[in-house]
Amino acid sequence: MHKPAKVTIEDVAAAAGVSRQTVSRVINNGPNVKPAVRQRVEAMVEQLGYVPNLSARRMGGARSYLILSINDRARTFENWTSGRGNDWVDQMLYGGMSECERHNYHMVLELIDTDAGTTIPQIARAVGSLRPDGVILTPPHCDNLELVDWLERQGIPCARVGHYEGGNFVDVYMDDEGAMREVTRHLLELGHRSIGFLAGPLNYGPSQKRRKAFREALAEAGIPPEAGPIGAGNFYFDMAVSVLETMLAAPSPPTAIIADNDKMAFAALHVAADLGLKVPDDLSVISFEDTPGVRFSVPPLTAIRQPTAAMIGKACAQLIALSKGEEGMGAFELPYEFVVRATTKAPRG
Amino acid sequence: MHKPAKVTIEDVAAAAGVSRQTVSRVINNGPNVKPAVRQRVEAMVEQLGYVPNLSARRMGGARSYLILSINDRARTFENWTSGRGNDWVDQMLYGGMSECERHNYHMVLELIDTDAGTTIPQIARAVGSLRPDGVILTPPHCDNLELVDWLERQGIPCARVGHYEGGNFVDVYMDDEGAMREVTRHLLELGHRSIGFLAGPLNYGPSQKRRKAFREALAEAGIPPEAGPIGAGNFYFDMAVSVLETMLAAPSPPTAIIADNDKMAFAALHVAADLGLKVPDDLSVISFEDTPGVRFSVPPLTAIRQPTAAMIGKACAQLIALSKGEEGMGAFELPYEFVVRATTKAPRG
DNA sequence: AAGCCAATTGAGAGCGTTCACAAAATATGT
DNA sequence: ACATATTTTGTGAACGCTCTCAATTGGCTT
């Protein structure tokens, strides 16, 4: 197990008969290199299998080629049981890594204990040691004002995913209002006249938008507010179960349920089974998330598919552009998709 | 957006009235520092908010504090539709990051296109630029001999997750044979006399073990081989559906199905619903994976829970130990869990 | 009190790159 | 052909840390 000698920029320079700096120019795609020289250097890079050392690059004052993604520990699988976990992460990873890879960047993930109140020290530590070119904030961190302020003061470009508008940031999101309108209208057109909404937390931006659009779509169709009950206020399975039990026990219960995430939609499937209601004949169910496994549920869930991977990918792309000195700040809305599977149908009778 | 001056080791040294090197000793927990001095330095580190720069550390010849995890692109959510994707990643992440965090390490994830035949160049690039202290290989990469050889020659400590025995590596796995024995016996005790197994790929180590144990457990109970049909040979939903349709159309069809992963277990749920079979009354189903969402299926799946997070955590822990010059190579078997939920029951009649 | 060993501290070099220049080569205009 | 711009190339310093090794300190022995 002997370490093979690692080839450095000097080795390439010597082999190509040029200086260190010229090789540097070539690998960074810099201007002012004669085509012939560039080619000769590239050949040597290839031949020697040279790969620039990221640490040295960083030391030399260049970019770090690192994008840091900050994630909430509470939302990992560790907390699936309690219902707080989700599986965004898979999609995030895919979207982020794919984009990073394209630019020879790397994505480093950090788990932060939001609840412990040590968010900023934890992030300071990661940012201080890694010195990333950009930071990606996912919920709930993207709404943490103190944190966002701190990052801004550090001068590190920052992207928020699932956050709307604001400041000198990259903000990436989808059209939550439009999606809710589409979903509600779909149900209305099917003939539903009473629709329940299992809503997410009040302080979660996208959920706010969806609540608003839900109410508006109902009002627009002349449905009275009491025929559009809103429940929950978090994303947990258990909570959704008990809210549903109440909702469906009402005198004229909803014939359709819109859930703010998959887990609550699954809760609807469970409660329906317990109550002997057939989905979609007796109860229609729509989810707002569409994590990959959803398509394999029985019956397969109709859902709004959040462009999670694309959002993280976009966030990375913008941060990378920024690190190259290009323009990048701004707000970006990505298209969602309404995937009609097997849990929506006209109500009985 | 002005960058705040970053505090370096020299700043701390000056503030504490000692040399650079003494500060270095303190932050690395080195020996031979007077308690009084150590305390003074630590106070200054705290006060100035000093965080060592990872790149500089690496350049100075120390460890990189980076663990690289190599993942197969084909298994990401991108390929959920085709059925190749899974959601290991969430759990991996959690297990790996938690462990890394504990030691102030960081986990970098890399997506590799196994199918493209460019595995080694891709990994060489990542390893060359990052210079991680260790590499974690997950399926199917852990079984890629060429890759494993290459890494060994590079002298980078390497951990394989889901791989048994062998060489100068960290190997982490669970007792697949024991799990299969337990599951099969559970079904046998319930009274099942014909059990189908939707098996994973033949070249996937854990699946091999499970096949073997399945056959043995059946033989031990005096069940003839034809009452223990094995099908599939990959992990895809669609394949499982068609295999099941055949299996369940047999003269005396299985009354229980063991699936090698969740997706195939979901397929069993689907086919049962299509055929009008009630789970678990008419058909018992057990999965070998237990990704987080499984508990929310209707009905909730009985499953072997793979200790995925723990396995990656262990892999990280060993690699980190190794990077500190401690012992670490070896094979580690982690305990699985048999979670009985609502999809197993005695067969009818 | 001198001598010796161990514990503690510090100084200088080096890691591989990019930066800011300076130098050399080439092109342009008259 | 000459001076002047422009492109192309190279040089030394710097980045922040750890390494190696030398210097200092302190305690113990004799």
- Whether the CB of A330 is below 8 Å from some CB of chain B: the reply is no
Mutation target among B28, B90, B158 for the A interface, most CBs of A within 10 A: B90
Whether residue A309 lies within 8 A of chain B, CB to CB, comes out as yes
Angstroms from B169 CA to nearest CA on chain A = 12
Residue A96 has phi, psi (to 5 degrees) of -70, -50
Residues of B in contact with A111 (CB under 8 A): 93-94, 97-98, 101
The verdict on A90 and A164 lying in the same domain is yes
Q: What confidence tens digit (pLDDT) does each residue in A59-81 have?
A: 998 899 999 998 887 776 666 66
Give the distance between the most distant pair of CA atoms in chain A: 86
Q: Angle between the B35-48 and B9-16 helix axes, to the nearest 10 degrees?
A: 130
Burial of residue B86, with CB atoms counted within 10 A of its CB: 0-12 exposed, 13-18 middle, 19 or more buried: buried
Within this chain, do residues B224 and B302 fall inside the same structural domain, yes or no?
yes
Q: Which of A135-144, A237-246, B46-55 has the lowest mean pLDDT?
A: A135-144
Residue with tokens 């995913």: A161
How many angstroms is C1' of C7 away from CA of B25? 14
Supply the mean pLDDT for chain B.
91
In a domain, B240, yes or no: yes
Tokens of B226: 């034809």
B1 domain residue, yes or no: no
What gap in Å lies between CA A297 and CA A1, rounded to an integer? 49
One domain, residues A76 and A148: yes
Give the three-class secondary structure for A16.
helix
**A11-40 per-position pLDDT tens digit:** 999 999 999 999 999 999 988 999 999 999
Q: Smallest CA–CA separation between A100 and chain B, in Å? A: 10
Quote helix, strand, coil % in chain A, to nearest 5: 50, 15, 35
Contacts of residue A216, Cβ cutoff 8 Å, sequence gap at least 6: A181
CATH at residue A43: 1.10.260.40
Percent of chain A at pLDDT > 90 equals 71
Name every residue whose Cβ is closer than 8 Å to that of residue A192 and which is 6 or more positions away in sequence. Answer: A254, A255, A256, A284, A346, A347
Higher pLDDT among residues A91 and A186, named by residue: A186
A3 has pLDDT over 80: no
* Contact at CB, B55 and A309, closer than 8 angstroms: no
A154 touches chain B (CB under 8 A): yes
**Percent of chain B clearing pLDDT 70 (strictly above):** 95
Rounded to an integer, the average pLDDT of B94-106 is: 90
Q: Is A3 on the interface with B (CB under 8 A)?
A: yes
Joined together, the tokens standing for residue B58 give 């690496």
Protein-proximal positions, strand D, CB < 7 A: 7-20
Distance, CA of A183 to C1' of C25, in Å: 68
pLDDT of residue B1: 40
Residues 237-296 of B with CB under 8 A from A: 237, 262-263, 266-267, 269-270, 273, 291-293, 295-296
Instruction: Give the residue on A whose Cα is nearest the Cα of B62.
Output: A55
Q: Which of B12, B51, B290, B323 to mutate to test the interface with A (most CBs of A within 10 A)?
A: B51
The verdict on a CB contact (< 8 Å) between B292 and A80 is yes
* Strand duo B158-161 + B195-199: pairing: unpaired
Instruction: Judge: B3–A85 Cβ closer than 8 Å, yes or no.
Output: no
For A266, A342, B259, B280, the CA distances from A298, given in Å and listed in that order, are: 10, 9, 17, 14
**Interface contact A128, partner B, CB < 8 A:** yes
Q: Using the beta-carbon criterion (under 8 Å), do B108 and A107 form an inter-chain contact?
A: yes
Cα separation, A138 vs B318, in Å, equals: 30
Report the gap between the CA of B297 and the closest CA in chain A (Å).
7
| Beta carbons of B263 and A298 less than 8 Å apart | no
Asked whether residue A88 falls in the same domain as residue A168, the answer is: yes
CB nearest to B108's CB, from A89, A108, A263? A108
- A90: pLDDT strictly greater than 80: no
B60 CB neighbours strand D below 7 A: yes
What pLDDT score was predicted for residue B94? 83
Task: Give the burial class of B285: count Cβ atoms within 10 A of its Cβ; 0-12 exposed, 13-18 middle, 19 or more buried.
Answer: buried
The answer to whether A329 CB is within 7 Å of strand D is no
Distance, in Å, from the CA atom of A217 to the CA atom of A286, rounded to the nearest integer, reads 16
- Across residues B100-105, what is the average pLDDT? 91
Does residue A166 sit in the same domain as residue A315? yes
List, for residues B276-319, the tens digit of each pLDDT value: 999 999 999 999 999 888 888 989 999 999 999 999 999 999 99
Q: Hey, is the C-beta of A102 within 8 angstroms of any chain B C-beta?
A: no
- Spatial contact of B280 and B303, defined as CB atoms under 8 Å apart: no
Q: How far apart are CA B45 and CA A78, in angstroms?
A: 33
Is the confidence at residue A96, as pLDDT, over 80? yes
Verify that A226 and A281 share a domain, yes or no. yes
List own/partner pairs for A163-169 with CB under 8 A and 24 or more apart.
Answer: A163/A137, A163/A139, A163/A205, A164/A205, A164/A209, A164/A331, A165/A331, A168/A329, A168/B1, A169/A329
Evaluate whether residue B346 is within a structural domain.
Answer: no
Contact A168 B93 (CB under 8 A): no
Tell me whether A59 touches chain B (CB under 8 Å): yes
Same domain, B157 and B181: no
A238 lies in the same domain as A261: yes
Within this chain, do residues B136 and B189 fall inside the same structural domain, yes or no?
no
- B4 within a domain of the structure (yes/no): no
Domain match, A169 and A181 both: no
Residues facing residue A110 across a β-bridge: A70
- Nearest residue on chain A to B98, alpha-carbon basis: A111
- Tens digit of each residue's pLDDT (9 = 90 or more) over B237-286: 999 999 999 999 999 999 999 999 999 999 999 999 999 999 999 999 99
Considering the domain boundaries, does residue B161 fall inside one?
A: yes
Name chain B contacts of A56, Cβ cutoff 8 Å. Answer: 55, 59
Contact A293 B266 (CB under 8 A): yes
d(CA A135, CA A71): 11
Is the CB atom of residue A222 positioned under 7 angstroms from any atom of strand D? no
pLDDT for residue A91 = 77
B246 and B291, same domain (yes or no)? yes
Alpha-carbon gap, residue B225 to B204, rounded angstroms: 22
Q: Which residue has 């190579």 as its token pair?
A: B329
Please indicate whether, in this complex, the C-beta atoms of B81 and A168 are within 8 angstroms of each other: no
Does the pLDDT of residue A340 top 80, yes or no?
yes
For the stretch B335-346, pLDDT in tens is 999 999 999 999
B146's enclosing H/E stretch is helix B145-154
Confidence of residue A83 (pLDDT cuts 50, 70, 90): low
Interval B181-217: pLDDT, tens: 999 999 999 999 999 999 999 988 999 999 999 999 9
Q: Tell me the per-residue pLDDT of A193-206, one tens digit each, with 9 for 90 and over.
A: 999 999 999 988 99
Determine the protein residue whose CA lies at the shortest distance from the C1' of C16: A56
Contact B94 A111 (CB under 8 A): yes
Is A342 part of a structural domain of the chain? no
- The reply to whether A100 falls in a domain is yes
Q: Which nucleotide is nearest to B20 (CA to C1')?
A: C10
Q: In what order do the strands lie in the sheet with B284-289?
A: B230-232, B195-199, B256-259, B284-289, B302-305, B337-339
What is the rounded end-to-end Cα distance, in angstroms, of chain B?
75
Tally of domains in chain B: 3
Tell me the two tokens of residue B195. Answer: 């059990």
Nearest-angstrom CA–CA distance, B44 and B16: 6
**Is residue A44 situated within a structural domain?**
yes
Contact across the interface for A293 and B295, Cβ inside 8 Å: no
Torsion of the alpha carbons at B165, B167, B172 and B178, rounded to the nearest 10: 0
Do residue A329 and residue A272 come from a single domain? no
Out of A65, A76, A295, closest to residue B93 by CB: A76
Q: Which of A4, A51, A109 shows the shortest C-beta gap to B109? A: A109
- The domain of B232 spans 176-306
The CATH number assigned to the domain holding B275 equals 3.40.50.2300
> Does the pLDDT of residue B87 top 70, yes or no?
no
> Which pair of tokens denotes residue A154?
């550090």
CB contact under 8 A, A155 and B262: no
B79-to-B74, B84, B148 alpha-carbon distances in Å: 6, 5, 25
